[in-house]
Structure 1
């Protein structure tokens, strides 16, 4: 089962994803967070500067090459990522390189997740990637977003992480204060990130009209986060049990048909 989260930067997607996975594991289910990303933070007063910048680029280049040349679907995932980038190109070259690499790795991880029996949670899935592209482009209209959302793989569960605007602003400011200067070269600035609130509201409206079932999770306080985690977990477990029962029934029907063909 694939679960994906979306919401503005600073909304608490990663924290919520790990809390949800932990709760599912405590209740006996195999769950993990996939493609989780946390920005680098300063280590005291030390700033690694250029070293961090170069190391990140080298690491990204090596990992991306492995995905393109070695996995079976490397070529397909490469084409998918390039098509998404051409549809909504980010303004800055460094943003284009970063989001392209992210989508490529996301596609690879998603392909693997479809074959797994576990509950796999993407704190940044395809819906988030489309929102990020629109944010970094600055001019993506609703029609483009509708087309993009209708052409990407759909998760079994889509969760919108909701938090008040003032809290997003405060969290983003704290994040930027902790980031090394070299890390900021890869990230959008404060004003760009704050525009994501309207972008993801538009995306949520599009998904609702399209009929996709989206669950809202509130992370404005510890209490609301715990409550949302409980509610989302219950919905996931109910669906997980239903899917498992349906799968067992289908296998049973196939076995019965086989016995009917060959006799006792």
Structure 2
């Protein structure tokens, strides 16, 4: 398979590729937000680049540049975090989709790599149900099912519990970043974060709108990044990529050959 990087192509090249049947496009939506003292603020945007590329390669699809800013109000107590509203992401994603549909894309995938973007992207996909000839897909919908479950399953194989595996800047996310950008991971700065019930913690952040400083007692971490490991990070990456592909298959339009 291959990836068609829209930003690096000319307009005639894009037109030809679409006309040749490459009519699926992946649009990643990340975030610029604190990841404690050991991971970069751009972690979720970097995840968007990496997972977007993996998905586009699997689908022989186009990849548009990651939208780096997301819904991250719960991280604003920490310096450097940038946030926009639910409505802004929803509208931006919808307008992206309508632009792409006008050019002839048939499957438009709004890929969330930050939990705060899941709901606005899903809402944007629903808003786009009226687009004729194109299906807009938001494959990541439930942080527990689509993110925590696959990553915690990997951690469990190594004797790491759900609390340590975490949900933000913890074991699994730090492990993935040790694979993607090892030079930006500061393992000497890692500390234990909140290691209680992850589902409850995520609910407090995304639904109850509590600040992560309150939920994590000032660390900004859900989990224990001290347990991170690059080899395990490869397994976490594959597990999350698998969850994303399952979400795409679930939403894939009827009558079109489903991705393998």
- Range into which the TM-score falls when normalised by the shorter chain: 0.3 to 0.5
TM-score by length of 2: 0.35
Q: Which has the higher contact order (CA 8 A, sep 6+)?
A: 1
Greater share of helix residues, 1 or 2?
1
Select the structure of larger CA radius of gyration. Answer: 1
